[in-house]
Structure 1
Amino acid sequence: MVEVNEERRQVQSNGGCRYHHSYVIFTILLIMSLCYYVVIYDNSETWKATVGLLFQKTLHNKTSNESLNAVSRGIASPTTVSRGIVSPTTVSRGISAEPWKPPDPYYVAYPYKYSFVINEPEKCQKENTFVVLIIPVSPGNVAARDAIRSTWGTEKVVADKTVSFLFLIGLPTSQDSEKLQEDLLQESEKHYDLLQSDFWDSYYNLTIKTVVMLEWLSAYCQNAHYAMKIDSDIFLNVKKLVNMLLPAPKQNYMTGLVARSAMVLRDPHSKWYLPKTVYSPFHYPPYALGLGYVFSLDLAGKLIEAAQLVKPVYIEDVYIGMCMNHLGIDLTDPPDGSLFNVFPVEYNRCRYSKLIATTTQSLTNQVNFWRDLQTPGPYC
């Protein structure tokens, strides 16, 4: 009888173990199934955006909190922190070594609270700026920045009006992002002309870059009269720009190469393709081409308000036109249709003395054309 009871207890124990093991296996399979469902079947724009925004918020919180203690820990000098620059150690901790890829080519993470990693908050006030030039450029494009610094970026005063300029960048997305971030901080300490915000710098984030520009202008440059967003591959005739602005309106003013009744491109192979699910009309509202457009500073705050309501598209100049249309403000055609040129203009002194902006085929051309135009002698 004792042996029978002992065998019975052993059978019950083994059965309990088998039940416990089965329960564990079932639980694991259930979790794996749920993970598969989330990743494969629920990999929506909202889910991806949430993941991206959580990462950006983590970076923002880390850089903000650590920058406050940078002086006490000896990472940054008081001057560095007062200029809004986060130390290399702090920033590098928040940057992934993996190249950034957009979650969806038609998704734009805005509205969202972006912050500045590198800032020049007193630039406009100290220089008593008349017009500020904001040049969006990729973090690694030092050559373009140096070309501008040595050419039209040197034209600080025209007709007794101060011209300021700043380069606008996002976070680097390459494999060597930590080293590049350290180089950017050193470049900022040398030139004091960089603005960097905590969004990933990429073509698909140009709309974010542009609205961040507006946020900076609204916060730090309201004493200026005008701003110009201008691409880094552009030849700019600063004298001609200032002369155009002297009699220009001070409110609700935006001009450049204005496109009217431009058709929405539906070819999926086009760089500027937009599907109907993103933007359904056949034509865009009037907009100024992104090579370079000028606007009065009152528009910065107005466009930011519109951007909270207008669904963003990744084509940044089109989006600004959509916001202007939402505000009911018409764009102003330039006084001369040849002032802004989207295709490179063949160089001669007479022609270049009369235009404001044109794309160029190389940085070498951009530098050489500007230098030749500065030499003494008649233009025409």
Structure 2
Amino acid sequence: MTGNVMPGGSTACCTHRVLRLAWLCVLLPIAAGMVFILGYLSLYGVDPQPRRSYHVSYPHPYHFILDEPDCCLGYQTPFLVLMVPVAPGNLVSRQVIRRTWGKEGVVLGRAVRVLFLLGMPGGAGVERQQEELKTESLEHHDLLQSDFLDSYFNLTIKTMVMLEWLSSRCPNASYAMKVDSDMFVNVHNLVSMLAAPDTPTRNYITGQIARFSPVHRDPASKWYLPTEAFPSFIYPPYVMGFCYVFSLDLPGRILEASRHVRAVHIEDVYVGMCLEYIGVLPTNPPASDLFSDKVLAYSHCSYSSLIATMTSGSDLLMGLWEDFQKPGPTCPPSWRHLLIQALHRNWSTKLRKN
């Protein structure tokens, strides 16, 4: 009948309104949270789109929050700077390195400096972590922290920020090494190699070199790069990122190249792309077994003949370092090592004559 209201109509209408209001109360905080997260990721150098897995925000004006701007000035200018990228929360690795190969300040009469490179901590307890890092920095004066989010997909940013620091803060050093925090480094052998008269002082980068390395096209791989990010199916030669050494003329040149070469998340590949742009090829080390990305079984003789090798943990590194400092047996070089060194000297002599 016209003008009459169906029984329950008013109740149904109110129910629908209540449900709509309830959904709004649920969805609005979620939408606001997503906006905040996307803004945070954009601010700290992470592309929130799926393509973040292969493109990163570099070049970008990142800034140092913790810095040691004077550690390379004047009489303190080191011959060699060891740069260790490490997660903000990985205090254990930093302490072990400080107590082992990182404590060698003068080697073969040449100054050596160890610095740890960090991004911003993420997750719960960020403010507490940051305060702890400030305290650690005041105690040890060896932390460099920049304002990007410290994550696997920002390793390229971390490496480029390292090069920025070396170029601006430490241009008068002779060499630098980028070395992961889970490595054993024989600093004596490293300095000995770099101080050799046939070691180049310019356009020099060495380590374990990857040549003719195929591009990963499997989207499930963490090293995946699609064709639009890297059209070729073979990477240019590059030094593997766990450990490499370079002359201090290169950071500025690589940074200049980065203005023309779009950054991808695979940091060692990206450094190789920049080197290709400026026409610099990695140099073979004097022996192929000086740098190892494998965990080698410890013996005093084997570790006395290498420069860097991966370890299986900080506890092991501490233990083997204590043994490594003890007087060891006389270790004759292997025939393979002698042969490679002889071939390297012969090749270097030919290059100088030409």
Check conservation: 1:263, 1:282, Cα contact below 8 A. yes
Deviations 1:223-255 (A, max 9, x none): 100000000000000000000100211100000
1:308 aligns to 2:262 (yes or no):
no
Residue of structure 2 in register with 1:377 after alignment = 328
Q: Which residue of 1 aligns with 2:60?
A: 112
Change (3 A) 1:219 1:49: farther
Task: For 1:300, give the aligned amino acid.
Answer: P
2:157 is aligned with 1:208: yes
CA positional deviation for 1:258:
0.5
**Shift in alpha-carbon separation, 1:179–1:53, aligned structure 2, 3 A:** closer
User: What does 1:76-225 correspond to in 2, within 5 Å?
Assistant: 102-103=48-49, 104-125=52-73, 127-225=76-174
1:264 aligns with 2:212: no
Which residue in 2 is equivalent to 1:323? 274
Tell me the distance in 2 between the aligned counterparts of 1:49 and 1:132. 37
Do residues 342 (structure 1) and 293 (structure 2) align? yes
Q: How far has the Cα of 1:378 moved from its partner?
A: 2.5
Q: Which has the larger radius of gyration?
A: 1
The whole-number CA distance in structure 2 between the counterparts of 1:102 and 1:225 is 39
| 1:119-166 C-alpha deviation (Å, 9 max, x unpaired) | 001111252200000000000000000010000011111110011010
Gaps of 5+ in 1: 1-38, 58-99
Give TM-score scaled by structure 1 length: 0.74
User: In the alignment, residue 195 of structure 2 is paired with which amino acid?
Assistant: L
**Alignment partners' CA distance in 2, 1:54 and 1:147:** 34
- Give the alignment's TM-score, normalised by structure 2: 0.79
Q: Deviations over 1:299-319 (max 9, x none)?
A: 010000001110111010110
Judge conservation of contact 2:119–2:149 (CA < 8 Å) in 1.
Answer: yes
- What code does the residue aligned with 2:125 have? D
Shift of 1:376: 1.6
Count residues in correspondence: 296
* Cα deviation code 1:172-203 (max 9, x no counterpart): 01211110000000000000000000111000
- How far is 1:348 from its partner? 0.6
3-state SS of paired residue (1:134):
strand
SS in 2 for 1:213: helix
Q: Assess if the C-alpha contact under 8 Å between 1:255 and 1:331 holds in 2.
A: yes
- Tell me by how many angstroms 1:287 deviates: 0.4
- Residue aligned with 1:183, SS: helix
- Cα 1:48–1:357 change in 2 (3 A) is farther
Structure number with higher relative contact order (C-alpha < 8 Å, ≥ 6 residues apart): 2
Alignment check: 8 A CA contact 2:41 2:48 kept: no
Shift of 1:331: 0.7
Alpha-carbon distance between aligned partners in 2 of 1:102 and 1:235, rounded to the nearest angstrom? 36
Query: Would the aligned equivalents of 1:102 and 1:204 in 2 still touch at CA under 8 Å?
Result: no
- Native 8 Å contact 1:235 1:360 kept in 2: yes
CA distance in 2: counterparts of 1:52 and 1:327, whole angstroms: 34
Which amino acid counterpart does residue 278 of structure 1 have in structure 2? A
Could you say what secondary structure the match of 2:72 adopts? helix
Q: Which residue of 1 aligns with 2:283?
A: 332
Q: 1:305 to 1:49 in 2, by over 3 A?
A: farther
Structure 2 contact 54–266 (Cα < 8 Å) conserved = no
Q: How far apart, in 2, do the equivalents of 1:345 and 1:333 lie?
A: 21
Say whether the 8 Å CA contact 1:168–1:194 is kept in structure 2. Answer: yes
User: SS at the partner of 1:199?
Assistant: strand
| Alpha carbons 1:349, 1:379 under 8 Å: kept | no
CA offset digits 1:42-93 (Å, max 9, x no partner) = x9xxx99994687359xxxxxxxxxxxxxxxxxxxxxxxxxxxxxxxxxxxx
Q: Which amino acid aligns with 1:122?
A: D
Aligned equivalent of 2:346: none
Coordinate RMSD, CA, aligned: 2.4
Q: Distance in 2 between matches of 1:263 and 1:163?
A: 36
Provide, for residues 261-309 of structure 1, a one-character-per-residue CA deviation record: whole Å limited to 9, x for no partner: 1011112222211122211111100000011100000001000000111
Q: 1:102 to 1:359 in 2, by over 3 A?
A: farther
| 1:254 match | 205
